[in-house]
Amino acid sequence: MAASTKVSRAGWYALTLVSLTQAMSLLDRQILSILATNIREDLHIGDAELGLLYGTVFALFYALFSLPLGRLADGWLRGKLLAICITIWSFSAGLAAFASGFGLLAISRLGVGIGEAAAQPAGNSLIFDEFPKARRGIAMAAMAIAVAVGLGLSMILGGIAADWWDKTYAQGNAPLGFSGWQFAFIIASLPGFILAILLYRMKEPRRGAMEGIESPKDPHPFKASAAMLGAVTPGTNWFLLWHRGASKKQWTINLVGLALIAIFVVSMISWTQSFSPRPPLEIGSFHLNPHVLQWLVVGFGLFVVLNLFQSFKLTDAPTAAVVLSPSLLMLILVGGLQTAINYGVMGFTPSFIMRSYGLSAGETGLQFGLLAAALGVMGPLIAGPLTDLVNKHLAGAGRVGLALFSLGASPLLAIWVYSADTSGSFYLRFTLYSLILTMWMPPLYSMMYDLVLPRMRGVTSSLYIMVSTLLGLGIGPYAVGMISDANGGDLASAIISINLVSPVIITLLIIVMIRVNRDEASVLDRARAAGEKV
């Protein structure tokens, strides 16, 4: 029994570096939220456009590249993959400092999205090969803590750096003509390069050894990764459907699916433009309606998901048989819908505080950033051990119940939080709200990766990222920004409105609670029936 719960020094070291990677990911991703007000004033854009930058533009390449990079994480050296990717996203984050318009900021966000696409697939896969099942709730709690620290640090560092720079150079003559928000992007990008060196030198654990299902070495991981990218990218997917001998049924599903997605995209463009009309964006010499950009990206993502499912069916039947289980798919959808709430809330809460209570970016970043980080640490510290405890005494269903409590109670608290009259009252209310809200990640993540084989964890993580990016980053911040613009900048009502998806989340979790043990027990049988040699 002792051997089954022991974590090596290498395991703790790997968890430390992977957790730092998650923190850096959130730092470079979220810093836009505290700088949004200054960017909005300098670039003369609205909340909907900020939602595009914060969520949709970032989501485009983040979602697309999470799939091939997730496949690469299942076959190549994960520490080196993380090192390369963190270098890419750190450079791209720093590039935002040189933006004088929407275009270069959008390019910066695309680059951050590409680099960060490997963070979860490679990081989670590494941790599950270092930690036994009995200790994974704690490991996932550490990852959730890192996310909270990164989130808090993005606001503290971004707000203080921007305010200091603007006060120091209030009379002009700033180096390179930078504003405070541009300087903050430079500061945020620098630590990633140091972390990349440590990750590149980290020892690779044996894949699957913790479960006794050690995976053989992948002879062609880069070829498989490129094939995955080609299989899901619109255009090249049709060549690979032909090359792989897809049936008429597969072709029909693909083309009819594309037609339905196109109808959905056109309908949403028309409805959102009438609900919240926005002026065109200037991207170089091009002018583009922001609602067109938003829904083209969402439609692109939906088609990528369809292509991914078809690719599984044609090239990896065991993965299709395991990953496409009802419990796993519902958990992924729950995570995606909740991510829409989380990103919608956190993307605009700093702006809400500044507008509602008259605080500066530095004051907001320090106060709210410290509070968010502290609460984000406390919640998982409670939820991680609690996840392991409830799973020990009530396998499967106990973890679902913990997530159900967190995600069922938090929307009701949100109404109370965002109606606070003063900043002090807001912070007190937000404390209870955040402690409950942060408790869903450890149980949900632990369940997801227990529902697949070790070699499928990278792809599972990528699928989760794809769906959560589409629903969370792709729609959450944009929806809040659009509702705010349509209601004269009322961020409180816009933030509360995003919680309307909660009844769907609760319904899905109840169904998962009923069947999760059955789906977990059948993983090996389904994989073997589809041809897996384990």
How do the domains of the chain map onto residue ranges?
Answer: 2-201+316-529, 227-312
- Residue-wise pLDDT for 42-72, tens only, equals 777 666 667 667 667 677 777 778 778 877 8
Q: How confident is the model at residue 1 (pLDDT cuts 50, 70, 90)?
A: very low
- Provide the residue count of the chain: 534
Mean pLDDT within 20-47: 79
**Predicted local distance difference test score (pLDDT) of residue 211:** 64
Q: Copy the structure tokens of residue 519.
A: 């789906």
Residue 2's pLDDT is 43
Give me the chain's average pLDDT, please.
81
Which of the listed ranges 121-125, 275-279, 298-302, 311-315 does the model predict with the highest average pLDDT? 298-302
Q: Which two tokens stand for residue 200?
A: 């590149």
Sign of CA dihedral 455, 459, 464, 469: positive
Give the pLDDT band (50/70/90) at residue 209: low
Residue 367 in contact with residue 359, Cβ under 8 Å?
A: yes
Angle separating helix axes 361-393 and 441-450, nearest 10 degrees: 50
Alpha carbons within 13 A on the beta-carbon side of 250: 18
Write out pLDDT tens, residues 432-490.
888 888 778 778 877 888 888 877 876 787 788 778 877 777 788 778 877 887 777 78
Q: How confident is the model at residue 3, as a pLDDT?
A: 45
**DSSP-based three-state secondary structure for 263:** helix
Q: 521's torsion region: left (phi>0), alpha (psi -120 to 50) or beta?
A: alpha
Place of tokens 């318009």: 101
Is the confidence at residue 261, as pLDDT, over 90?
Answer: yes
Q: Can you give the pLDDT at residue 59?
A: 74
At residue 284, does pLDDT exceed 60? no
- Could you tell me which of 316, 419, 431 has the C-alpha nearest to residue 371? 431
255 Cβ contact partners less than 8 Å away, ≥ 6 residues apart: none
Report, as an integer, the average pLDDT of 503-527.
Answer: 88
Task: State the alpha helices, DSSP H only, in 117-220.
Answer: 119-128, 136-168, 180-189, 191-200
**Class level of CATH domain 2-201+316-529:** mainly alpha
- Separation of alpha carbons 109 and 123, rounded Å: 21
Residue 206, pLDDT score: 75
DSSP code at position 97: G
Report which DSSP code applies to 135. Answer: G
3 state DSSP class of 440: coil
Beta strands 281-283 and 286-288: pairing type? antiparallel
Q: Which residue type, as a one-letter code, is found at position 191?
A: P
pTM over 0.85? The answer is: no
- The 3-state DSSP class for residue 468 equals helix
DSSP state of 233: S
User: Which pLDDT tens digit goes with each residue over 366-405?
Assistant: 888 788 778 877 776 777 777 777 777 777 677 888 888 8
pLDDT higher for 348 or 238? 238
Q: Which residues fall within 8 angstroms of residue 41, CB to CB, at 6 or more apart?
A: none
Sequence-ordered list of residues with C-beta below 8 angstroms from that of 506, at least 6 positions apart, any chain: 404, 407, 408
What is the CB neighbour count within 10 angstroms for residue 402? 23
CA 63 to chain CA centroid, Å, is 9
Give the contacts of 130 (CB within 8 A, at least 6 positions apart).
7, 8, 10, 11, 14, 15, 139, 205, 210
Tokens of 393: 């005494």
* pLDDT greater than 60 at residue 283: no
Q: Are 63 and 464 within 8 A, CB to CB? A: no
Span 159-185, pLDDT tens digits: 888 888 888 887 777 776 778 888 888
DSSP helix/strand/coil, 281: strand
Return d(Cα 167, Cα 154) in angstroms, integer: 20
* Amino acid 214: pLDDT: 63
| Predicted pLDDT of residue 286 | 64
Give the amino acid at 157: L
Per the structure block, which two tokens stand in for 62?
């983040």
Among 116-125, 273-282, 521-530, whose mean pLDDT is lowest? 273-282
The pLDDT of residue 196: 92
State the Cα–Cα distance between residues 39 and 17, nearest whole angstrom: 32
Of 150, 94, 158, the closest CA to residue 120 belongs to 150
